C-alpha cells in the first residue's frame, strides 16, 4: 500500500473530524480500492461517507466479506449483549418504579 496515499487519506478524513489511524485507513483502502489504483488514487468526499459506513459495520455480523460461521458467532454475541442490557434496563425500571412508588 502506498504510504503517501494512506497519509493523505488520513489527513483528509481528519480534516472532517473523523478519528482514524494509518492501520485503519490501510485496511479500508485494501478492501475497497483495487491495488492498481493505490498510487494515483485521489480521496473524495464520497470516500469519507464510504469509510464511515465501512467503520460502522466493521466487526459486526453485517461486515462485508465474512463467512456465515463468523456471522452467526457475531449475531449470537450481539444477542447475549442485548439480553444483558435488557436485564439491566429491567432492574433500573424496577428501581425507578420503587422510587416513584409506581407498582
- Map residue 64 onto helix, strand or coil: coil
- Which cell is 18 given? 473523523
Q: Does residue 2 or residue 52 have the better pLDDT?
A: 52
Report the chain's C-alpha Rg in angstroms. Answer: 21
C-alpha 37/C-alpha 48 separation (Å) is: 17
pLDDT at 94: 94
pLDDT at 54: 93
pTM, two decimal places:
0.66
What is the percentage of the chain residues whose pLDDT exceeds 70?
91
DSSP string, 63-78: -TT--HHHHHHHHHHH
29-71, pLDDT tens digit by residue? 888 877 666 566 788 889 889 999 999 999 999 998 899 999 9
pLDDT at 87: 98
Amino acid at each position: 500500500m502506498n504510504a503517501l496515499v494512506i497519509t493523505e487519506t488520513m489527513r483528509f478524513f481528519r480534516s472532517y473530524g473523523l478519528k482514524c489511524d494509518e492501520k485503519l485507513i490501510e485496511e479500508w483502502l485494501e478492501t475497497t480500492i483495487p491495488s492498481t489504483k493505490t498510487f494515483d488514487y485521489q480521496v473524495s468526499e464520497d470516500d469519507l461517507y464510504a469509510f464511515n459506513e465501512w467503520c460502522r459495520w466493521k466487526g459486526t455480523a453485517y461486515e462485508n466479506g465474512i463467512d456465515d460461521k463468523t456471522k452467526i458467532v457475531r449475531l449470537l454475541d450481539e444477542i447475549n449483549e442485548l439480553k444483558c442490557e435488557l436485564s439491566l434496563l429491567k432492574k433500573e425500571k424496577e428501581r425507578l418504579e420503587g422510587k416513584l412508588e409506581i407498582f
